[in-house]
Amino acid sequence: MNLDRNTTAVLALHWINDIVSEGGAFGGRFAGEVARTGTAGHARRVLTAARQTGVPVFYTRIVYQPGYPGLIVNAPLFEGIRPAGAFLAGGGGVEILPELAPEEGDTVLDTGRVSAFTGTGLHEVLRGQGIETVVLTGVSTHITVQSSALAAVDLGYRVVIASDATSADSAATHEHALRALAVLCDVATSSEIVDALLDSPAGTAHEVRTP
């Protein structure tokens, strides 16, 4: 596959303790698959290659203020958030997995919804940097990754899903989501993505452009 490092960004979606760590509010649902498949390790390789090649990295987190003033319970997924005390600002649950911790130059965006593009200003930032392709890593494949991917496609981006740097609550769910996404997105392994980034010719640094 081909990636232009000058017009590509990597998204690290919802790598927070409440979702991907044992003991997290929703860790019982997702942490097992993250551990079994080594998803975080694959994601780390992609993030490292992005930084090495000057490709911007954007993290998203689900974060709510105490009392959950921004929580909209319009779907079953959101019904369990308040009872679990999940995703509270300032708490350990919204901290990013240590092995994937943001580094200098990375951007962390907070949202109270599923898609990385809802309420974060991500689209405006990406367009301002001339980004045309987004590479997605994160959890869960059938929720946040899928929602973000579809939003990105509708906004005009080329979307690449890192198949082994994403995971769901089961292998079957993950594979089903990837098959569905393959209609609109490129699906590639972390190794293929890393190779494509490293093989991409170096160009000018990302410049802020007026949308």
Amino acid identity, position 12: A
- Tokens describing residue 81: 């958030």
What distances in angstroms separate CA 182 from CA 6, 94, 103, 111, 115, one per listed residue? Answer: 24, 30, 31, 26, 18
> b vs e for 82-111, b when ≥16 Cβ sit within 10 Å of the residue's Cβ?
eeeebbbeebebbbbbeebeeeeebeebeb
Strand partners, 160: 135, 186
pLDDT in tens, 57-91: 999 999 999 999 999 999 999 999 999 999 999 99
CA distance 159 to 44: 19
Residues in the chain: 211
E strand or H helix that includes residue 61: strand 57-62
What was the pLDDT predicted at 202? 75
Residue 106 scores a pLDDT above 80: yes
161-167: average pLDDT? 98
β-strand pairing of 133-139 with 107-111: unpaired
pLDDT in tens, 145-155: 999 999 999 99
> What percent of the chain shows pLDDT beyond 70?
96
What was the pLDDT predicted at 204? 47
Torsion angle of alpha carbons 164, 98, 63, 117, nearest 10°?
-40
174-198: average pLDDT? 98
Instruction: Check if the beta carbon of residue 109 is closer than 8 Å to that of residue 136.
Output: no
What was the pLDDT predicted at 203? 60
Kindly report the pTM of this predicted structure.
Answer: 0.94
